[in-house]
Amino acid sequence: AQKITQTQPGMFVQEKEAVTLDCTYDTSDPSYGLFWYKQPSSGEMIFLIYQGSYDQQNATEGRYSLNFQKARKSANLVISASQLGDSAMYFCAIHFSGSARQLTFGSGTQLTVLP
């Protein structure tokens, strides 16, 4: 069975510091896409970053970067220079090529940025 795991239910970080949110997955599918979404308390899902399984370089989008280790099946999100507005729930999600194209989500990590 394909599965995605976020082991950190909650994380705290000081403003302006960097933080890493963990995500591991289990699949035998060689082709897949990894997404990170942010969900503030208002409820909308906001796309942050994408990594394809065959991409040679780790993805970066502004203050967000992915530490993608394919052999270890991990795709950790790194947020640099945390801001108070980064406080939210963060979800790792995977699109498997063999599936009906839906995203499979982890259980999420609640990030709180402290002033």
CB of residue 42 to another protein, shortest distance in Å: 8
Which C-beta is closer to another protein: that of 53 or that of 82?
53
Please give the Cα distance from 107 to 81 (Å, whole number): 24
User: Does residue 35 bind another protein (CB under 8 A)?
Assistant: yes
- Six token digits for residue 94: 């995977």
Phi and psi at 88, nearest 5°, equal: 180, 180
Nearest to 34, CA basis, from 79, 96, 86, 80: 96
Residue 1 binds to another protein (criterion: CB under 8 A): no
- Told to check if 8 binds another protein by CB under 8 A, we report no
106 counts as binding another protein under rule CB under 8 A: yes
**Residue 11 binds another protein, judged by CB under 8 A:** no
- What distance in Å separates the CA atoms of residue 58 and residue 66, rounded to the nearest whole number? 6
**Which amino acid appears at position 111 of this protein?**
L
Task: Give first-to-last CA distance, the chain, whole Å.
Answer: 41
- Using the 8-state DSSP alphabet, how is residue 6 labeled? -
CB of 45 to another protein, least distance (A): 4
| The binder of another protein chosen from 3, 12, 26, 52 (CB under 8 A) | 52
102 binds another protein (CB under 8 A): yes
For another protein, the binding residues (CB under 8 A) are 31, 33, 35, 37, 42-45, 47, 50, 52, 91, 93, 95, 100-108
